[in-house]
Amino acid sequence: MSAAAAGDVLAPRELQGPSTAARFYRPALRFIKKQPLGAFGLLIVIILVVLAALPSVIAPQRYDDFDVTARLQAPSMDYFFGTDQLGRDNFSRIIYASRTSVIIGFSAVLVAAAIATAVGVSSAYFGGWFDTVFQRLIDVWMSFPGLIFIVFVVAIFGNGRGTIILTLGLLYGAGSSRVIRSAALTVRSMSYIEAVRATGAGDLRIILRHVIPNVTPIIIVNASVQVGAVILAESSLSFLGFGTPPPFPSWGRMLGEAQTYMTQHPHLALFPGAAIALTVYGCNMLGDALRDTLDPRLRRGA
Amino acid sequence: MNTYVIQRLLLILPTMFGVTVVLFMAVRFLPGDAVDQMLGDFGAASPELRRQLEERYSLNNSIPQQYVDWMGELVTGDLGTSITSGRSVSSELQRRLPATFQLGLLAMAFSLMISLPIGIVSAVKQNTPIDYAARSLAIMLLSVPSFWLGLLAITYGFAWFGWTPPLRYEQIWEDPIANLQILWVPALILGGLLSGTTMRIMRSTMLEVLREDYIRTARAKGLGARLVVMRHGLRNAILPVITVIGLQVPVVVGGTVLLERIFSIPGMGSYLLTSLSQRDYPVVQAIVLISASFIILTNLLVDLSYSVIDPRIRYR
């Protein structure tokens, strides 16, 4: 039974199925019921995306509004998270900074997943000198410690958003291409691949229809872990002072700046870090739940 | 098998070559050089002084020539001399390397002690409260930025427990207790971060493996649950885990950079950041090269362990 035949059976049922709205709600409800933690993660991610999209509507002040008479205030009803050394409202700045994390986090993971799949699968599938050359290039690439590498790139090419996204993508893509390659190696040695080849399928068809679908769970697990990890990496970079440029805030830089004042004013260190932790936690929870839902092998079992 | 091992060992050479070339070029591409910094210190930029300084540090040679010189020094075991301090890099690293190494190893040990047992139990008890608790823990460990924990440990550690990182760093051979008093907190923070990833991969691969037919067979023949998991499960599930542990070495290096800065540990990471901002080429090159060599070595071990642990993967 080929995949095309299965599609023919499914198509008519889809057409006469329930209304579009019901078709969307039912799986959504099932997701919330079966994956409460994942739904919670989804909620955090939705809030994050809304904050990142509409900071000027939600935040009480702009990120660069300052009031020198209200410097280093503790949290109060006027300033929920207190103010920083320039008298800027930390609550508003944290809301604006979500944009930095969302844009860099999601774009870099997409770049990484595309690179990792292409390199990992083709390297495992074709093997031989192709594999050797690619693996050696990746060896060179990955021999540089990630954080140090990005710091270098930023020092050379500047701290533009595009540069950081591409570098993080290349970095995390190289890492997961290894994992995907090792999974694809196992898939390649399975007898069903041999069977498909015996039916006369070409390399491209085998890769697209048989190898990639079988490593997709690994790709998704990897990407799901990475959204959070990339957001963390971006904040580490900003913490060290190599992130996207001021005045637009980022959580990592807020923490970096907090170091000078934090012993007297711990709120400066507390809230931006909590924002990073909560965001990354939400992304990871959602990623976990998506994996459990999407991975056919995990779905089938007990 | 032995030919594979030899081949793999030989392949280190092109990798090392690639690393030195990329590193060397990257350092040269950095805007500004150490001489700029020094001229800044003198408050004057006379072309004559500049020429003298460049000659002194061989920065006036052509770039290929500089590369060849550097390689020549490396082959004789000379890591170069710091432009800023005038001291040899290896003497400086003799004090700094052990600190970083110790921090990294301690973190790895903490990580494995936390992650492997919890990951396995979590898979075996899938969808029980134990599993939910373990998964939430893993995700929390993954989510909390290590540098934030470091900042909080310093801020609140003093306020609540009267704990403060000792001001003077002691080497382990000078004063082991004082040394560990400094290192255990950053190592635990870094280890916690690492254990999140390992725990998740351990759980998910173990779950996959536990659904395999040979596990059912092992159970059917009456093997005890513990033996099934440890002998048949773990051996098959450990491959991706080893990959991930290998992949974590760069994370460890990056983590030590952050935590060394926060806890004022005089290790390689903090030295690198200072040298990078001073454009102290020889120091930057030496440190990145050492980290890179270490990563290459662990990658090699990961690759070699594949074929030992999983005989289904055959290299020819």
Q: Is it the case that residue B46 has pLDDT exceeding 90? A: no
Residue B300 has phi, psi (to 5 degrees) of -60, -45
Nearest to B156 among A136, A142, A266 (CB): A266
CA–CA distance from B224 to each of A142, B230, B232, B234 (Å)? 42, 10, 11, 14
Quote the CA–CA distance of B291 and B299 in Å, as a whole number.
Answer: 12
| Mean pLDDT (whole number) for B228-234 | 78
pLDDT of residue A70: 66
Contacts of B204 in chain A (CB under 8 A): 221, 291, 298
CATH architecture of B99-281: Orthogonal Bundle (1.10)
In a domain, A16, yes or no: no
What is the mean pLDDT of the segment spanning B288-309?
A: 81
Distance from CA of B50 to the nearest CA of A (A): 23
> Chain A 201-220, CB below 8 Å of chain B: which residues?
none
Domain of residue A156, CATH code: 1.10.3720.10
A291 touches chain B (CB under 8 A): yes
Model pLDDT, residue B91: 83
CB of A191 within 8 Å of a chain B CB? The answer is no
Strands (E), B160-258: none
- List CB contacts (< 8 A) between B258 and chain A: 147, 236, 239-240
**Tokens, residue B236:** 């098959």
CB contact under 8 A, A297 and B208: yes
Q: Do B261 and A182 touch (CB under 8 A)?
A: no
What pLDDT, on the 0 to 100 scale, is given for residue B40?
61
In Å, how far is A155's CA from the nearest CA of chain B?
6
Give me the number of domains chain A comprises: 1
How far is Cα A73 from Cα B1, in angstroms, rounded to an integer? 67
Place of tokens 């993080």: A168
Residue from A155, A152, A153, A280 nearest A224 by CA: A280
Range of the domain at A158: 34-56+84-301
Interface check for A108 against chain B (CB to CB < 8 A): the answer is: no
Cα angle B101-B102-B108, degrees, rounded to a multiple of 5: 90
Query: By CA distance, what is B19's nearest residue in A?
Result: A140
Q: Which of residues 234-253 of A touch B (CB under 8 A)?
A: 235-236, 239-240, 252
Query: Looking at the predicted structure, is the pLDDT value of residue B239 above 90?
Result: no
Query: Is B88 in a helix, a strand, or coil?
Result: strand
A185 near B CB under 8 A? yes
For B148, which of A182, A277, A298 is closest by C-beta distance? A277
Residue A286 lies in a domain: yes
Query: Whats the size of chain A, residue-wise?
Result: 302
- Among A106-120, A191-205, B21-35, B257-271, where is mean pLDDT lowest? B21-35
Cis amide leading into B47 (omega within 30): no
- Provide the angle, in degrees to the nearest 10, between the axes of the packed helices B268-278 and B89-124: 130
Contacts of B240 in chain A (CB under 8 A): 179, 182-183
Q: How far is B305 from chain A (nearest CA, A)?
A: 12
Is the CB of residue B75 less than 8 Å from the CB of residue B145?
no
Residue of B148, B243, B253 lying closest to A148 (CB–CB):
B253
The three-point CA angle A256-B253-A167 to 5° equals: 70
Residue B173, min C-alpha distance to chain A (Å) = 28
Q: Which residue of B has its CA nearest to A227?
A: B143
B315: left (phi over 0), alpha (psi -120 to 50) or beta: beta
The C-alpha of A184 sits at a distance from chain B's nearest C-alpha, in angstroms, of 11
Give the other-Cβ count within 10 Å of B136's Cβ: 14
Task: Give chain B positions within 8 Å (CB) of A236.
Answer: 145, 147, 254, 258
Counting Cβ atoms within 10 Å, is residue A68 exposed (0-12), middle (13-18) or buried (19+)? exposed
In this complex, do B142 and A255 lie within 8 Å of one another by their Cβ atoms?
A: no
Return the domain boundaries, chain B.
99-281
A179 within a domain of the structure (yes/no)? yes
- Which pLDDT score, from 0 to 100, does residue B42 have? 57
Neighbours of A175 (CB within 10 A): 25
Judge: A156–B31 Cβ closer than 8 Å, yes or no: yes
| Cβ–Cβ < 8 Å for B171, B98 | yes
pLDDT at B310: 64
Structure-block tokens of residue B85: 């301090």
Which of B31, B295, B313 is the closest to A145 by Cβ?
Answer: B295
* Whether the predicted pLDDT of B269 surpasses 70: yes
Where are the extended beta strands (E) located within chain A?
none
Closest CA to B30 of A170, A151, A165, A246: A151
Average pLDDT, chain B: 80
Residue B181, SS3 per DSSP: helix
Tell whether pTM > 0.80: no
The residues near A223 (Cβ < 8 Å, ≥ 6 apart) are A109, A112, A113, A176, A287
Written as one letter, the residue type at B98 is P
Q: Specify the pLDDT at position B76.
A: 80
What pLDDT, on the 0 to 100 scale, is given for residue A300? 44
Q: Which of A42, A132, A138, A140 to mutate to test the interface with B (most CBs of B within 10 A)?
A: A140
Is A178 an 8 Å CB contact of chain B?
yes
Contacts of A55 (CB under 8 A, 6+ apart): A63, A92, A95, A96, A98, A99
B-facing residues of A in 122-151 (CB < 8 A) are 132, 136-137, 139-140, 142-148, 151
| Tokens matching residue B122 | 């979590």
R_g of chain B computed on alpha carbons:
24
A71 touches chain B (CB under 8 A): no
Residue B158 burial (CB count, 10 A): 13
Nearest to B296 among A143, A148, A151 (CB): A143
- How far are the Cα atoms of B37, B101, B146 from residue B252, in angstroms, in the given order? 31, 10, 11
Angle at A184 between CA A183 and CA A187, to 5 degrees: 95
Task: Report how far residue A197's alpha carbon sits from residue B218's, in angstroms, rounded to the nearest whole number.
Answer: 32
| Closest-CA residue of chain B to A258 | B151
Q: Where are the beta strands (DSSP E) in chain B?
A: none
Please, which residues have CB within 8 angstroms of residue A220's CB and are 6 or more apart in sequence?
A287, A290, A291, A294, A295
Closest by Cα among B283, B280, B279 to B79: B283
pLDDT one digit per residue (tens) for chain A, 302 residues: 344 444 444 445 555 555 666 677 777 777 777 777 788 888 888 888 888 787 777 767 776 766 767 666 667 766 667 777 776 777 778 888 888 888 899 999 999 999 999 888 888 888 888 888 888 888 788 788 878 888 888 888 888 888 889 989 988 888 788 888 888 888 888 888 888 888 887 888 888 888 888 888 778 777 877 888 889 888 888 888 887 777 788 888 888 887 777 777 777 788 888 889 999 888 888 887 877 776 555 544 43
pLDDT of residue A268: 76
- Distance from C-alpha of B82 to C-alpha of B149, rounded to nearest angstrom: 33
3-state DSSP assignment of residue A262? coil
β-partners of residue A89 are: A83
Q: Which residue of A has its CA nearest to B272?
A: A148
Tokens of B212: 């395999």
